[in-house]
Structure 1
Amino acid sequence: MPLHYRHVDVFADKAYTGNSLAVFPDNPGLSAEQMLTITQELRHFETIFLSGAEGAHYVTARVFDLFEELDFAGHPVLGAAAVLHERDGTTGPRRWTFHLSGRTVEVSTRRTATGYHAELDQGAPEFLATVPTAERTEIAAALNLPVRALADLPLGP
């Protein structure tokens, strides 16, 4: 069966200069194993597969890197939203809802002179862990910053 996809450059205003990915706007029911194999074959850092995208503002998305399925990844969602807007053919701004395995996010898109601008609303940040105060010195050194530069960041108690 033929599979159609778009090569997309995110965070760029000209081709072959951004974060590239493959967007499959019409997932024909591929298994997770097949999606992972396709991603590995294309050798993109990430590939996104969409379901329910034809004429809908709400899509289900599955994102894969070279090793596994990801719960969420921002740049594939941005690129996919641009592909959906292009396919839709409308000139005005659009809003899309993406349901991923890890969360549901909203993306606003608008056409520009060089392509599309996409803005992701992924909700409030989730902090999965805190960094002990004693480790701030190591973190600051790794970032080539003074320790005081990390004082107001949510690194821990």
Structure 2
Amino acid sequence: MPVWKDPMIRHWQSLKLASCPKLDSIRINIYLRAWPTDDDSDETEATNVPALSLPGAGMLFQASSALRSIYIYVHDLPRVTTLNDRRLLRLQEFDKVITPDTFPLLLRVFLRIRPDGDLWRQPDYKWRKVVVGTRRALPNLHSRGMLRV
């Protein structure tokens, strides 16, 4: 059975967002799904996949400085610790790209996180842990008061 692959992982450059100077809002989706291994086993891992935030950070690098709002959607979060995972997710790239110099008109960065069903059903799951994990991954956006989770 073929495994779904996010087309943005390898093709985000074709969007050419620099040609949209009046772009004032952008939505970036990040899908945390299981990735196939290089062999034909049933196991999945993300060792052969670039960090999932890199396409979104790259799109922002291309985007107009007129952006006023950025929406980042993280779908199917498997564990709270994934928020600070620099190999798989690497949310920290957004903290590097979204600066006052790059986006002087920016008002807010909205980070919407949807935990996967397994995480949601865990007895020790608490939304507060997700918020704290996000603030740790994006300390500059949080300290500037830009981040809304």
Taking structure 1 as the reference length, what is the TM-score of the superposition? 0.30
RCO higher in 1 or 2 (8 Å CA, sep ≥ 6)? 2
More strand by percentage? 1
Taking structure 2 as the reference length, what is the TM-score of the superposition? 0.32
More helix by percentage? 2
